[in-house]
Structure 1
Amino acid sequence: MAEGIRKRGEKYSFRINVKDPLTDKWKNIERSGFTTITEAKKARTKLLLLETTPSKIITKDKFVSLSQVYHEFINKYAVYNREKSTLTKYGTVYKNHLEPNWGNVKMGKITYKELSENLFSLSQTHSNTYIVSILKFMKVLWKFAHEQEYLKENIISKVTAPKPDTEETAIKIYTEQELDRFQERFSTTNLITSFLIGTYTGCRRSEVYGLL
């Protein structure tokens, strides 16, 4: 009789011993109730294929770079369900922080330690609020990649960012002279419009970008 197939009374059954490609552990699986040996053979072949090449393993071996995931997310989904200001933020974060480090890297090769170390390295030059915004966008991209089955595991929950400095969370009040210096600094950049709106209306940053 065919390997692993037995007849019990009027029915056929089979047992397979396979190594789980995700856990690297061996396991026995048994199925019974088949009326013919041909039916049992087909079921055994199908189960072997399913257990040794699950979808998560197939997609793991595909080269899907961070750049590919970013552009797919933006062009196929985000442009239809995100605000224009949000898309602008996504583009800025990706261009300035994600693309230079991992744009052409296979997402499955990027570790949570790399991402965490990068966020902590920015604490000397960027505000905690901005660093958190980078982490939030990382979560968006990694969740999307995981849902599309480009990643075996979503590592983003393990990524950590520096805690905000107590001074950073305090309300800051600027003098007119300081605001004038800010305006002079921004006058030659594309931030001048949002700066003036915020200065004269008192709107929060997110509200200002929502108006643009």
Structure 2
Amino acid sequence: MRGHIRKRGSTYSIVVDVGRDENGKRKQKWISGFKTKKEAEKALAEIIAKIEKNEFIEPSKITLQQFINEWLKIYGEPKWAPKTLVSNKSLIDNYIIPNLGHIELQKLKPVEIQKFYNSLKEKQLSNTTINYVHRLLNQVLKFAVKWQYIAKNPCELVEAPKKDKKEFVTWNFEHVKKAKKIFKDTPIYIHVMIALYTGLRLGEICGLRWEDIDFKNQTITVRRTAQRIDGRFIFKEPKTETSKGIISIPDFLVQILKQEKNKQLQNKLIFGEKYITEYEGFISVWEDGRFKEPDYVTKKFRKILKKQSDIPVIRFHDLRHTHATLMLRSGVDLKIISKRLRHGRISTTADFYSHVDLEMDREALRKLESNLS
């Protein structure tokens, strides 16, 4: 690798050989704007050293916004699930581009990113949202390094706030017994029971087909999740391998599922040609075969709970937490609970339900104290 210095007016420029193109022709790179020959010589030595180590990044005036647009077409749009794409584009369009998009990618400094996060905090954005912005921007800039637009990722030198600790309310054993009666004759009874006895997410419950139920071995296999994007339903495979899984179910839930399946078969006969077959085979359907969507289940669940005072009003997703909490209180090993919830790491489960461990520890201590007194 060779290079030389040229004086152009009152400043100096570097001319560097950066290899050959696809036709074997020598490629040269000009870098201008050095005030003294000594500065140019130092820069030339550094550049040649980087070239020899294959660490040289050609200067580019591409902005962060231009790179993100390119990155979305090549990576984001083909890779992400529809719901994730909508969510991430919202973060990009509402926060990243308006604040940092105009900056040249190679000139983006850690301090500018840190100031950006601070400004989001001043606008009362939650730590969780800022953390999501950071993770997304960090991912973008990692690809900028991989694709040799920049030498280092400035996000790695920035401190982003940790996500806010999620607060959730769960039902106890008595609440669950009452819930069985409250939801018994409602359109979402099957959804509530599956959530309580398996810990499945609502999208996963609505994505279940009868072929996913093994009545003989009493298991449910999670193969897909239901999402509504731009007015239409999309059924996607879980985004990670750990999100898939086979979950055992008790006799009580097996019987409820059998009753629901028989009811659907009867409804199909009753409606005849008027029965909608588009979603045939799915568990979450109305009497006429229309799809019973997650949004409806969520709203109906909340509406039913607000009409009574026997049990706390919680989110549908808190049924998943209720399942885990009650299993933990029943003495089920944390590793088994983590597998049922299909968490990637057991530490994730432990972090979520550490408060239950503490309560159980205190209860055990009270029993010990009572026995010793």
2:115 and 2:142 map into 1 onto residues whose CA distance is 20
Please state how far the C-alpha of 1:107 moved relative to its aligned partner. Answer: 1.2
1:142 and 1:22 map into 2 onto residues whose CA distance is 26
Amino acid at match of 2:140: L
Counterpart residue number, 1:67: 65
What pairs up with 1:25-174 in 2 under 5 angstroms? 51=49, 53=51, 56-59=55-58, 61-124=59-122, 125-163=124-162, 169-171=166-168
Q: Any gaps of 5 or more consecutive residues in structure 2? A: 1-40, 171-229, 231-292, 302-315, 319-373
2:62 and 2:106 map into 1 onto residues whose CA distance is 8
2:152 and 2:101 map into 1 onto residues whose CA distance is 19
Task: Compare relative contact order (CA 8 Å, sep 6+) and give the higher one, 1 or 2.
Answer: 1
Conservation of the 8 A alpha-carbon contact between 2:105 and 2:150: yes
2:44 and 2:91 map into 1 onto residues whose CA distance is 33
| SS of aligned partner of 1:122 | helix
Aligned length: 141
Please state how far the C-alpha of 1:170 moved relative to its aligned partner. Answer: 3.0
Amino acid at match of 2:91: V
| SS of aligned partner of 1:57 | coil
Please state how far the C-alpha of 1:57 moved relative to its aligned partner. Answer: 3.5
Amino acid at match of 1:171: F
Please state how far the C-alpha of 1:199 moved relative to its aligned partner. Answer: 4.3
TM-score (norm 1): 0.55
1:52 and 1:200 map into 2 onto residues whose CA distance is 62
Conservation of the 8 A alpha-carbon contact between 2:57 and 2:148: no
| C-alpha distance 197-89 of structure 1, shift in aligned 2 (>3 A) | farther
Please state how far the C-alpha of 1:117 moved relative to its aligned partner. Answer: 2.0
Conservation of the 8 A alpha-carbon contact between 1:197 and 1:203: no
TM-score (norm 2): 0.33
1:88 and 1:151 map into 2 onto residues whose CA distance is 27
2:167 and 2:45 map into 1 onto residues whose CA distance is 48
Quote the RMSD (CA, aligned, Å). Answer: 3.3
| SS of aligned partner of 2:56 | helix
1:119 and 1:62 map into 2 onto residues whose CA distance is 26
Please state how far the C-alpha of 1:120 moved relative to its aligned partner. Answer: 2.4
Deviation per residue, 1:104-159 (Å, 9 max, x gap) = 21112111111122212322411111111000101111001111100021121111
Q: Any gaps of 5 or more consecutive residues in structure 1? A: 1-18, 25-48, 174-189, 205-212
1:103 and 1:117 map into 2 onto residues whose CA distance is 14
| C-alpha distance 197-63 of structure 1, shift in aligned 2 (>3 A) | farther
| C-alpha distance 58-87 of structure 1, shift in aligned 2 (>3 A) | same
Amino acid at match of 1:98: I
Higher Rg of the two aligned structures:
2
Higher helix share: 1
